[in-house]
Structure 1
Amino acid sequence: MKAQLTEQTRRLLLSYQRSEITDHVIYSRIADREKEPKNRAVLEQIAGDEVEHAATWGKYTGRKVKPRRWAVLWYGLLGWLMGYTFVIKLLENNEYAAGKKYEQLLEEIPEAAKIIEDEQRHEKELAALLDEERLHYVGAIVLGLNDALIELTGAIAGLTFALNSTRLVALSAIIIGVSATLSMASSSYLAERADGNPKALKSSIYTGAAYLVTVVLMVLPYLLYPEASYAAALGTMLVLVILIILFFNYYVSVAKDLPFARHFGEMTGITLGVALISFLIGLAVKTFLGVDI
């Protein structure tokens, strides 16, 4: 026999029901694209749990609901760009928060206890079983990203006040960046080969790609601003650097369950510290040599 629900509770259940069926569709779509049988089985099991939860809430609401289309599209895009492990971890964080809300329904709906258990324990364990290839190369990406941010931020900051021209800085940074990308990728390949990594080439490609993308983003302000607006270009570049660090650290913290604040603060502090030192060196060298460009 169904419990007599208040209107407020019924609205809550409808929202929860829609969330569960939305997650079911998201997990199912990720599973359809997954080629690894073990991962596909894990994803299909999670999707099955979600549709069961939606059915449980549906018994109390007496309605059938459709998934949130915008959420399906958004998480589909995130999965394509950042990998399904990131999407699943993100969803699981949301599910854990939802489990806390479900606790308020225990008196009215005893079956909520089973859903809470699933959301907070069972699905977490399933998500931990996932083994996505791109996460194996996070170390390679970190290597390329960190080196590009620290080396190029320092070099560009120093060049900015030494050359006083966005075009000259962009030209210099592109030459330095491309050369450094090839050097970094080659060094990574040789190091991985020496360690006996059978996928040394792929690892070096991830490192080089991360480095090159970072270089492009950092040089972009100097290509867009007028030649005399080198200070504005530097400021914009530093904002982009912080956003890159923020984005990547958030991705890694979610996908690999690592603390966000400490890693973000550490990486930001080192990068901006190097930029400040390089800026002062560039200014001092220009003054000492008496160069005026």
Structure 2
Amino acid sequence: MCRDEYFSYYLYKFLARKSLVSKSLREALEEAAEDEYRHYLFWRGIVGECSSKLVMLKVLFYVVMFYLFGLTVLLKHLESKERDAAKIYKEVTGLRPDIRDAVEGIAVDEERHESAFLASIDESRVRYIGSITLGISDALVELTGIYTGSLGAFENTLSAGLAGFLAGVAASISMGIASYAQAKNEGRARPELAAFYTFLAYIAVALLLALPYFVISSLLAAFIMMLILAVAIVAYMTFYVAVLQSRSYLREFTEITVLIFGVSMLLYVIGSTLGNVLGVKI
């Protein structure tokens, strides 16, 4: 607990200095940092010195997480850790009645921090997470299927890469228009942003999955690298959504990965069959 409070103090101080943080959230983070330092001093008086270099490594890990996933996901993840800490506080008050009031005060502070953070956060990519997820999921399923089918229909990586990327560009525009129409029919504010995020997510995945085919000459090696990138994108997306919506990360990751590989295998069989029957090799 002492080390966790020390860690939270440094992390909140770091986040409060970032220019991307709104004024209201910066004030909430600065206040939380002061509280966490006071909590750290309290626990240090009971258990002794607890700061260490490992704490700074943990802070570095969460800084990387901040840049990869954004502030909302980071704070939501920390929120789940705070719930675990609340359980420990209850156990401590049972073992040490003499510090019950102080520990209960710390628990109240933690709950106040959580409420202040959630009230101050407003990231557009979180508000449009449904549109982003739609673009990424659709791109992964369709494009991995196309590239898998290309194993039986294409003879070189450039042709396969161009076919997949051009299909991705066309599909990204189509998905953007569909997302705009859906958002408008549902009466959502700024449907053009929903369309933009869907288009951007789709085209980004299309570019990433096509990249191996433009830099690797072996069709099989490019395909394997494409699958690795696809799984990495799935891991990123499912972690993001799982944290925001308090879902099981492993279950979400497994479901989407199985779906992608299932579609890929089916289209490989179809592509190979058509290539052999029609005698077409591009």
TM-score range, shorter chain: 0.7 to 0.9
Shift in Å at residue 190 of structure 1?
A: 3.3
- Deviation digits for residues 242-278 of structure 1, max 9, x if unmatched? 2211111011111232222332222222221111111
- Corresponding residue of 1:262: 251
- Corresponding residue of 1:86: 73
Greater shift after overlay, 260-269 or 21-30?
Answer: 21-30
- Corresponding residue of 2:9: 21
SS across alignment from 1:278: helix
> 1: CA distance between counterparts of 2:16 and 2:44?
20
* Unpaired stretches in structure 2, ≥5 consecutive residues: none
Choose the corresponding residue for 2:62, options 75, 96, 101.
75
**Equivalence map 1:86-165=2 (5 Å):** 86-99=73-86, 107=95, 110=99, 111-116=102-107, 118-119=109-110, 121-129=111-119, 130-165=121-156
Choose the corresponding residue for 2:163, options 160, 172, 183.
172
Q: Which amino acid aligns with 1:23?
A: L
Choose the corresponding residue for 2:32, options 9, 22, 46.
46
> 2: CA distance between counterparts of 1:41 and 1:256?
26
- Corresponding residue of 2:273: 284
- Deviation digits for residues 108-162 of structure 1, max 9, x if unmatched? 672445435544x444444443443321110010110011011111111112221
- Deviation digits for residues 152-200 of structure 1, max 9, x if unmatched? 1111111222113212101111211112222222332233234333322
- Corresponding residue of 1:57: 43
Choose the corresponding residue for 2:192, options 201, 224, 230.
201
> 1: CA distance between counterparts of 2:107 and 2:280?
69
Flag the 1:104–1:195 CA change in 2: closer, same or farther, 3 A.
closer
CA contact (8 A) 2:168 2:206 kept: yes
Q: Which amino acid aligns with 2:71?
A: Y
TM-score (norm 1): 0.80
Choose the corresponding residue for 2:261, options 267, 272, 277.
272
Flag the 1:58–1:234 CA change in 2: closer, same or farther, 3 A.
same
State how many pairs are aligned.
276
Q: Is 2:230 the partner of 1:241? A: yes
- Deviation digits for residues 72-100 of structure 1, max 9, x if unmatched? 55534433442211111222333444555
CA contact (8 A) 2:6 2:36 kept: no
CA contact (8 A) 1:160 1:166 kept: no
Flag the 1:191–1:289 CA change in 2: closer, same or farther, 3 A.
same
- Corresponding residue of 1:8: none
CA contact (8 A) 1:103 1:116 kept: no
Q: Which amino acid aligns with 2:76?
A: K
SS across alignment from 2:17: helix
Flag the 1:187–1:24 CA change in 2: closer, same or farther, 3 A.
closer
> 1: CA distance between counterparts of 2:261 and 2:168?
18
Compute the RMSD of aligned alpha carbons. 3.0
- Corresponding residue of 2:209: 218
Choose the corresponding residue for 1:192, options 166, 171, 183.
183
> 2: CA distance between counterparts of 1:196 and 1:184?
18
CA contact (8 A) 1:26 1:75 kept: no
Q: Which amino acid aligns with 1:88?
A: L
Flag the 1:131–1:49 CA change in 2: closer, same or farther, 3 A.
farther
Question: How high is the sequence identity, in percent, across the aligned residues?
Answer: 30
Shift in Å at residue 291 of structure 1?
A: 2.2
* Unpaired stretches in structure 1, ≥5 consecutive residues: 1-11
